[in-house]
Amino acid sequence: MSASISEVARPFVQGLAAGELRYQSCADCGAAQTLAHYACQHCGSVALAWRTAGGVGTVYAVTEVKRAPSDEYRPLAPYTLVIVELDEGARLMGHAAPGVAIGQRVRAGFFEHLGRQLIRFTPG
Protein backbone atom coordinates (compact mmCIF):
# COMPACT_ATOMS: atom_id res chain seq x y z
CA MET A 1 0.00 0.00 0.00
CA SER A 2 1.43 3.35 -0.94
CA ALA A 3 0.15 6.88 -1.11
CA SER A 4 1.39 9.48 -3.59
CA ILE A 5 3.35 12.48 -2.38
CA SER A 6 0.42 14.71 -3.22
CA GLU A 7 -1.85 12.63 -0.97
CA VAL A 8 0.65 12.84 1.89
CA ALA A 9 0.97 16.61 1.46
CA ARG A 10 -2.75 17.25 1.03
CA PRO A 11 -3.34 18.58 4.58
CA PHE A 12 -0.55 21.13 4.00
CA VAL A 13 -2.00 22.30 0.67
CA GLN A 14 -5.52 22.43 2.12
CA GLY A 15 -4.13 24.45 5.02
CA LEU A 16 -2.64 27.03 2.64
CA ALA A 17 -5.98 27.39 0.90
CA ALA A 18 -7.55 28.04 4.31
CA GLY A 19 -4.83 30.52 5.28
CA GLU A 20 -3.23 28.13 7.76
CA LEU A 21 0.31 26.82 8.05
CA ARG A 22 0.14 23.15 8.91
CA TYR A 23 3.03 20.99 9.95
CA GLN A 24 3.60 17.42 11.04
CA SER A 25 4.34 16.73 14.65
CA CYS A 26 5.91 13.44 15.75
CA ALA A 27 4.00 11.75 18.57
CA ASP A 28 7.07 9.79 19.61
CA CYS A 29 9.88 12.35 19.81
CA GLY A 30 8.07 15.69 19.40
CA ALA A 31 10.01 16.75 16.29
CA ALA A 32 8.20 19.06 13.87
CA GLN A 33 8.52 19.11 10.08
CA THR A 34 6.75 21.01 7.33
CA LEU A 35 7.50 18.98 4.21
CA ALA A 36 5.11 16.07 4.23
CA HIS A 37 6.86 12.79 4.91
CA TYR A 38 5.72 9.28 5.72
CA ALA A 39 7.96 9.15 8.76
CA CYS A 40 9.61 11.43 11.27
CA GLN A 41 12.91 12.73 9.86
CA HIS A 42 14.33 12.75 13.38
CA CYS A 43 13.48 9.33 14.82
CA GLY A 44 11.77 7.43 12.00
CA SER A 45 8.43 7.09 13.77
CA VAL A 46 5.34 7.02 11.55
CA ALA A 47 3.14 8.42 14.35
CA LEU A 48 2.78 11.84 12.72
CA ALA A 49 -0.08 14.24 13.35
CA TRP A 50 -0.92 17.43 11.48
CA ARG A 51 -1.06 20.64 13.51
CA THR A 52 -1.58 24.29 12.65
CA ALA A 53 1.33 26.63 13.31
CA GLY A 54 0.96 30.14 14.68
CA GLY A 55 2.86 31.48 11.68
CA VAL A 56 5.55 33.29 13.68
CA GLY A 57 9.20 32.38 13.48
CA THR A 58 12.81 33.43 12.94
CA VAL A 59 14.55 33.81 9.58
CA TYR A 60 17.09 31.02 9.15
CA ALA A 61 18.29 31.70 5.58
CA VAL A 62 17.68 34.32 2.89
CA THR A 63 18.06 34.13 -0.89
CA GLU A 64 17.50 36.94 -3.37
CA VAL A 65 16.13 35.49 -6.60
CA LYS A 66 16.86 37.73 -9.59
CA ARG A 67 15.98 35.25 -12.31
CA ALA A 68 12.92 33.11 -11.74
CA PRO A 69 13.41 29.37 -12.32
CA SER A 70 10.16 29.05 -14.27
CA ASP A 71 7.65 31.10 -16.27
CA GLU A 72 5.27 30.80 -13.35
CA TYR A 73 7.51 32.88 -11.09
CA ARG A 74 8.96 35.27 -13.68
CA PRO A 75 6.35 38.00 -13.06
CA LEU A 76 7.39 38.04 -9.38
CA ALA A 77 11.15 38.47 -9.95
CA PRO A 78 13.21 39.82 -8.38
CA TYR A 79 11.95 38.35 -5.13
CA THR A 80 13.21 37.20 -1.77
CA LEU A 81 12.96 33.63 -0.53
CA VAL A 82 13.53 32.70 3.07
CA ILE A 83 13.68 29.62 5.21
CA VAL A 84 11.97 30.36 8.50
CA GLU A 85 12.23 28.32 11.64
CA LEU A 86 8.72 28.44 13.04
CA ASP A 87 8.35 28.75 16.79
CA GLU A 88 6.94 25.20 16.71
CA GLY A 89 10.34 24.01 15.47
CA ALA A 90 9.58 23.22 11.83
CA ARG A 91 11.42 24.98 9.01
CA LEU A 92 9.43 26.35 6.11
CA MET A 93 10.38 28.07 2.85
CA GLY A 94 8.39 31.00 1.56
CA HIS A 95 8.54 34.39 -0.10
CA ALA A 96 9.48 37.37 2.04
CA ALA A 97 9.46 41.15 2.09
CA PRO A 98 12.67 42.55 0.53
CA GLY A 99 15.41 43.25 3.07
CA VAL A 100 14.53 40.67 5.71
CA ALA A 101 17.63 39.42 7.49
CA ILE A 102 18.76 36.21 9.14
CA GLY A 103 17.68 36.17 12.77
CA GLN A 104 14.79 38.55 12.20
CA ARG A 105 11.38 37.72 13.64
CA VAL A 106 8.74 37.33 10.94
CA ARG A 107 5.09 36.44 10.56
CA ALA A 108 3.58 34.40 7.72
CA GLY A 109 0.99 35.81 5.39
CA PHE A 110 -0.41 34.58 2.12
CA PHE A 111 -0.83 35.85 -1.39
CA GLU A 112 -2.36 34.34 -4.49
CA HIS A 113 -0.33 33.86 -7.63
CA LEU A 114 -1.82 32.16 -10.71
CA GLY A 115 -4.50 30.57 -8.59
CA ARG A 116 -2.13 29.15 -5.97
CA GLN A 117 -1.78 30.29 -2.39
CA LEU A 118 1.86 31.16 -1.63
CA ILE A 119 3.43 32.01 1.69
CA ARG A 120 4.97 35.45 2.27
CA PHE A 121 6.79 36.38 5.46
CA THR A 122 6.89 39.97 6.70
CA PRO A 123 8.78 41.46 9.69
CA GLY A 124 6.98 41.38 12.99
Nearer to Zn ion, 12 or 121 (CB): 12
Q: Pick the binder of Zn ion from 3, 14, 38, 45 (CB under 5 A).
A: 45
Is residue 43 near Zn ion by the rule CB under 5 A? yes
Q: How far is the CB of 30 from Zn ion (least distance, A)?
A: 7
How do beta strands 91-96 and 116-123 pair? parallel
Is residue 41 near Zn ion by the rule CB under 5 A? no
Q: Which residues here bind Zn ion, judged by CB under 5 A?
A: 26, 28-29, 31, 40, 42-43, 45
